[in-house]
Structure 1
Amino acid sequence: MQGDDTVSNSKGNVVVLFWKRLQQRYQKFLDDVTPYTTARWIFAVLLILGFLTRIFVLQGWYIITYALGIYHLNLFIAFLSPKIDPALDFEDDGPELPTKANEEFRPFIRRLPEFKFWYSVIKSTILSVICTFFDCFNIPVFWPILVMYFITLFCITMKRQIKHMIKYRYIPFTHGKPKYQGHEDGGKTVSSK
């Protein structure tokens, strides 16, 4: 009896150990690609274009495409939104983000960080590609109506987000870190003989 428990227990440990190592390698891969923002987004765009090409060639799965577009739109809105919404924290005439050099500096912190945005886009696009291999998800619809719905939803949502950005005076994009120039001497020490 004990021999059977030991064998099944060791098989269970092997599976758990294999799963943990797989997770560690996956996390290491994610950690390694984190600094390469441009390359990650190029890969994401190519993956989305591959998915759209598949949809165009197969002439189906428009509901999956519409759901993916809505999900990506929600991710993008969360990416553009501040973590702490000024509309919820203050009255209409309350404190705002600083607009002058002598005001308190409060950095823009996103509700959805860039890496999580990219990672969610990749996962959802891969899941959508997988869904195109199953006919049960190919629900017949008149696709021009879905395109019209998506464009309308995109315009309304972005208009609301831009109004929010103007009202509370924040810009969700930065142009890199400020670079400060030193004096001409560059901090060099001069030795005399």
Structure 2
Amino acid sequence: MNVGVGTGGGDVVSSPSSTVSQWFFTVSQRYQHLLDKSTPHVLHRWIFFSVVTLIYTVRVYFVEGFYIITYGLGIYILQLLIAFLSPQVDPEIADGPSLPTRGSDEFRPFVRRLPEFKFWYSLTKAFCIGFVLTFFSAFDVPVFWPILLFYWLVLLISTMKRQIMHMIKYRYVPFTFGKQRYSGKKATVIDEADVSRP
């Protein structure tokens, strides 16, 4: 018998559903805390992703199946990559501020449609889900994998060609390495002789 909040200061026994929801809330809080702590550690996060990808690849290689899951992962990766390389506001349909196209335009930093952390998180989560799915034989659909690979490569080439043409047309580069950085005015050393002159 479940007892609610008593008026006489008796014991409070919570229902099983509230216990489960409390446990779920605690676990999700700790999980979010770990994600928040991992945000500044870019290199470590991508190393972790590489390990997860390697584990998935080894699993698919030794099982020699689940190619349809791998194909689905490939399509999802392509979709995430395009969002990662695209500006948040598309210059073709921009109503608000657009990317600068001339040297005299006001500087506006490149803001991605999909930030780096969300890109990493979505990829890692997708590979973890794909890995779990490889333990269910219902998802091992017999397919001729070279055709899937060929079709995915055609999609990759055509999509990336369109994305690169978009970058060239609107003159933006979605990467920060190799870009010039403003370092501010350099302090000039004033010669004591110049200071003492009248």
Query: Given the two structures, how large is their TM-score scaled by the length of structure 2?
Result: 0.82
> Which whole-Å deviations, capped at 9, do the CAs of 1:130-183 have from their partners, x for residues lacking one?
000000000000011011001111000000000000001110011386433641
Structure 1 partner of 2:100: 97
Q: Tell me how many residue pairs correspond in the alignment.
A: 178
SS of 2:100's equivalent? coil
- Determine whether 1:88 maps to 2:86: no
Cα drift, residue 89 of structure 1: 2.4
Match of residue 184 from structure 2: 180
| 1:171 alignment counterpart | 173
Q: Which moved more, 1:36-45 or 1:115-124?
A: 36-45
Give me the whole-angstrom Cα distance separating, in 2, the residues matched to 1:108 and 1:174: 9
Unpaired segments of 5 or more residues in structure 2? 5-11, 190-198
Query: Higher RCO, 1 or 2 (CA under 8 Å, sep at least 6)?
Result: 1
8 A contact 1:62–1:138 mirrored in 2: yes
- Equivalent residue of 2:135, what SS? coil
* Aligned pairs (5 A) from 1:7-26: 9-26=14-31
Distance change >3 Å, CA 178–CA 27, structure 1 → 2: farther
Instruction: Specify which of 133, 147, 164 is matched with residue 131 of structure 1.
Output: 133
Question: Is this contact kept in 1: 2:99–2:108, CA < 8 A?
Answer: no
**Equivalent in the alignment of 1:190:** none
Q: What is the CA distance between 1:18 and its match in structure 2?
A: 1.8
Q: Give TM-score scaled by structure 1 length.
A: 0.84
Equivalent residue letter for 2:61? F
Pick the structure with greater CA Rg. Answer: 2
| Stretches of structure 1 lacking an aligned partner (at least 5 in a row) | 186-193
Deviation at 1:47, TM superposition (A): 1.1
CA contact (8 A) 1:98 1:106 kept: no
State the Cα distance separating 1:29 from its structure 2 match: 0.1
> Aligned equivalents of 2:133 and 2:20: distance in 1?
28
Bigger share in helix: 1
